[in-house]
Chains A and B, each alone.
Chain A
Amino acid sequence: MNIVVCCKLAPDAADIQVSSDGSISLERAEWIIGGFDLQAIEAGARLAEASGGKLIALSAGPHQINNSKLKKDLLSRGPDELVLVIDDVLVNADTAMTAAVLAQAIRKIGGVDLVLCGEGSTDLYFQQTGLQVGERLGLPTLNAVSKIESRDGKLVVERSLEDEVEILEVPLPAVLSVTTDINQPGLPTLKEILKAGKKPVTEWTLVNLGLDLSFQNQVEVIRTTAPHHAQRKKIMISGAADEAVYALVVYLNKEGLI
């Protein structure tokens, strides 16, 4: 079974800088593999290994994704190869543009039996990519997949919805988005990290994919600002444990909480 796992490489939200006017900057943020994608990579690695197939990691984004540390990090987690689609037009790509680019890259890779995506991207978490890629490829597609078993050339999957669980038989090829509790990815071993540097990386542009560069976002980003937080009192209670706790109990009592 040849598998493609789509990963979002994005600035780490923990590094957001908020300026006094409420605008935010990610200039200094480190770029990371989306935390919700690690489970998809792990699921792909396990299925590829069990079936003797290949796992290809695929990511699309602006020039920042072309970063040797990120590429090595991705390849040390199980994929045999990495394909990057790099174009700065993708910096604020809407869900349609992202899906169109990934679907086209998957067509170009060819011979893909299964596409896996994480639950959502680490930065935007729109939870749309897998579904839109699947539909654009005309393939069976599902989200919220919490278990995958390969059985007689088909997959039997568990899908966890809000108040029910479905067990579904999925013919291949298919596109699945997995939940964060499908597995618990471990840290890459030293051996995997050393091997990662030797694995093939392919870099494509939108032109290589035969995509029309004039295609436009359908959603214009007007502004991004820090959320308005409730004003907090920010009272720091100091002193020895007993004194601090006593002060806290007094405050809690005053708030009508105890």
Chain B
Amino acid sequence: MNKDESRPMSADIWVFSEKPALLDELLAGARVLADHIKGAVAAVVSGPVEKTEEAFERGAEKVFWLGEIKPGFMVEDCVPTLAHLAAKEKPYGILIGSTRRGRAVAGRLAARLNLSVITDVIAFMFENGDLQARHMIFGGGAVRVERPVSEMILATVGPGIFNPLPLTPGRKGELQIPDFIEPEWRLTLCERKIKPAPAVNLPAAKKVVCAGRGVAKQEDLALMEELARILGAEVGCTRPLAEGLGWLPRERYIGISGANIKPDLYLGIGVSGQVQHTIGMSEARVVVAINKDGEAPIFDQADYGIVGDLYTIVPALIKALKARK
């Protein structure tokens, strides 16, 4: 990155997210880091000025307000301004909310500053005074601990890692309004459509019946749906059923690039248990697996397992559950 030797690196932690709820969480995470290195917490905010007030009330000591997003502009158009600001102020680290937009901002910022990014951090630790970060790799099959050795640290953090600090109404701090730097290129936004709210919110479901590749035909999903109805569960699936076969909508797919669920009950039917899937369900309270292959890895992660043909077991289970009512 561009070194301005006249200005030493600060111990400040900056946060950026276009999502207000995620920004609140990042402010809480930044507070822990900043306290450790005796720095301040600063939020970089773009959009309505009210967002700067919220940032102060959620723990920011400093806010860099990049201004309103002008019509036809995108959040990402702030990258040149943010890069210039970071090179000048030299924060210790910048935490960016891990949404698709946030990842775009992080990546482009990193390239401009010749830095790397540690993505989707699940925990920060200090070891002998050095900051370390933990995140998942191999589709959730491994946890990697990394130590950034660069001058400035860039990391993305997803929702649910930090709990927001309580709101302190009326709390104020130092507001700075840097000059907006026009980006070298901008894309023409032809249209913006708000996605319809998904028909299902799997992460909120208390019980999930998950269909895997062991289900032979799309029509057979009716069996899983009937079981789900009796249990009061939602139907989820593994990636091939949503992408590739297209039997179920993408929002029902559980796994690394899909939904991450924490239900009380996960019932996997014909699910083999590849790590790319199990990363999305490993925090279920009770895991039940039904699979005809007794060697399937899902059984290692199940509380209750039945080795058998789902076409025999599931109808029997439906019958047994019905009989109880």
Interface residues, chain A, with chain B CB atoms under 8 Å away:
13-14, 16, 24, 36, 94-97, 99, 119-120, 122-128, 130-136, 138-144, 156, 160-171, 180-181, 184, 216-230, 232-238, 241-242, 244-246, 248-249, 251-252, 255, 257-258
Q: How far is the CA of A128 from the CA of B148 in the complex (A)?
A: 16
Contacts of A97 in B (CB 8 A): 116
A-B contact pairs, 17 of them (CB 8 A): A16-B142, A24-B141, A94-B116, A131-B107, A138-B184, A141-B104, A141-B108, A143-B103, A143-B104, A156-B190, A169-B188, A181-B250, A218-B148, A227-B140, A241-B316, A244-B313, A248-B288
Q: A41 → chain B, closest Cβ, in Å? A: 15
Question: Which residues of A have CB within 8 Å of B276?
Answer: 13
Contact A249 B320 (CB under 8 A): yes
Return chain A residues, CB-CB under 8 Å to B118: 219
On whether the beta carbons of A165 and B193 are closer than 8 Å, the reply is yes
Return chain A residues, CB-CB under 8 Å to B103. 127-128, 131, 143
In the assembled complex, which residues on chain B have CB atoms less than 8 Å from the CB atom of A119? 257
Are A95 and B110 also in contact (CB < 8 A) when A24-B142, A241-B308, A245-B316 are? yes
Q: Which of B108, B136, B138, B312 contacts A131 (CB 8 A)?
A: B108
Quick check: B116 and A235 within 8 Å, CB to CB?
no
Interface residues of B in 105-133 (CB under 8 A from A): 106-108, 110-112, 114-120, 132
- Nearest 7 pairs between A and B by C-beta? A131-B107, A135-B111, A218-B150, A94-B116, A13-B138, A96-B116, A169-B188
Within 8 A of A (CB), among B282-308: 282-283, 285-288, 299-308
Q: How many angstroms from the CA of A143 to the CA of B105 in the assembled complex?
A: 10
In the complex, the answer to whether B195 meets A165 with C-beta atoms within 8 Å is yes
**Inside 8 A of B317's CB, which chain A residues have their CB?**
245, 248-249
Asked if A234 contacts B299 (CB within 8 A), the reply is yes
Task: Please state if B321 and A220 are interface contacts (CB–CB under 8 Å).
Answer: no
Q: Which residues of B contact A143 (CB under 8 A)?
A: 100, 103-104, 107
B32 within 8 A of A: no
Q: How far is the CB of A248 from chain B (nearest CB, A)?
A: 6
Q: How far is the CB of A98 from chain B (nearest CB, A)?
A: 9
Chain A CB within 10 Å, residue with most, of B101, B116, B188, B307: B116
- A184 and B110 CA atoms in complex are apart in Å by 32
Residue of B nearest to A35 (CB): B276
CB of B231 closer than 8 Å to a CB of A: yes
How far, in whole Å, are A124 and B146 apart by their CA atoms in the complex? 13
**Residue contact B141 to A226, C-beta cutoff 8 Å:** yes
B46 part of interface (Cβ distance < 8 Å) = no
Among candidates B101, B111, B144, B145, residue contacting A132 with C-beta atoms closer than 8 Å: B111
CA of A47 to CA of B144, assembled, Å: 37
Which residues 161-207 of B have a CB within 8 angstroms of A?
184-185, 187-195, 207
B324 within 8 A of A: yes
Distance in angstroms between the alpha carbons of A142 and B117 in the assembled complex: 17
Classify chain B: how many residues form its interface, as a range: 35 or more
Q: Are A126 and B117 in touch, CB under 8 angstroms?
A: yes
Known: A24-B142, A232-B287. 4 other contacts (CB 8 A): A238-B307, A242-B320, A249-B317, A252-B288
Which B residues are in CB contact (< 8 Å) with A140?
185, 187
Known A13-B141, A127-B119: A245·B108 in contact at CB below 8 Å: no
B189 and A168 contacting across the interface, CB-CB below 8 Å: yes
Contacts from B to A (Cβ < 8 Å): 74, 79, 99-101, 103-104, 106-108, 110-112, 114-120, 132, 136-150, 184-185, 187-195, 207, 231, 243-244, 246, 250, 256-257, 264-265, 274-276, 282-283, 285-288, 299-308, 312-313, 316-317, 319-321, 324
* B143 near A227: Cβ-Cβ < 8 Å: yes
CB distance A166 to B108 under 8 Å? Answer: no
Known contacts A220-B149, A232-B287; is A135 also within 8 Å of B264 by CB?
Answer: no
* A141-B108, A180-B243, A224-B144 given; A163·B194 CB < 8 A: yes
- Do A95 and B195 touch across chains, with their CB atoms under 8 A apart? no
Do B195 and A135 touch (CB < 8 A)? no
Determine whether the beta carbon of A221 is less than 8 Å from that of B141: no
Q: Chain B residues with Cβ under 8 A from A244's Cβ?
A: 306, 308, 313, 316
Q: Are B146 and A168 in contact (CB under 8 A)?
A: no
Given contacts A248-B288, A249-B324, are A229 and B275 in contact (CB under 8 A)?
no
Q: In this complex, what residue of B is CB-closest to A243?
A: B316
Contact partner, B307, options A142, A223, A235, A236, Cβ 8 Å: A236
Given A96-B116, A132-B111, A234 and B305 contact (CB-CB distance below 8 Å): yes
Q: Within the assembled complex, what's the spacing in Å between the Cα atoms of A163 and B308?
A: 40
Q: A96-B116, A138-B184 are in contact. Are A233 and B304 (CB under 8 A)?
A: yes
| B108 neighbours in A (Cβ, 8 Å) | 131-132, 134-135, 141
B307, chain A: closest CB distance, angstroms = 7
Known A134-B108, A140-B185, A241-B312; contact A235-B305, beta-carbon cutoff 8 A: yes
CB-based contact B132/A123 at 8 Å: no
Q: Give chain A nearest CB distance to B243 CB in angstroms.
A: 6
CB atoms of B187 and A218 under 8 A apart: no
Closest beta carbon of chain A to B144's beta carbon, Å: 5
Distance in angstroms between the alpha carbons of A232 and B140 in the assembled complex: 17
The contact of A120 among B231, B257, B286, by CB within 8 Å, is B257
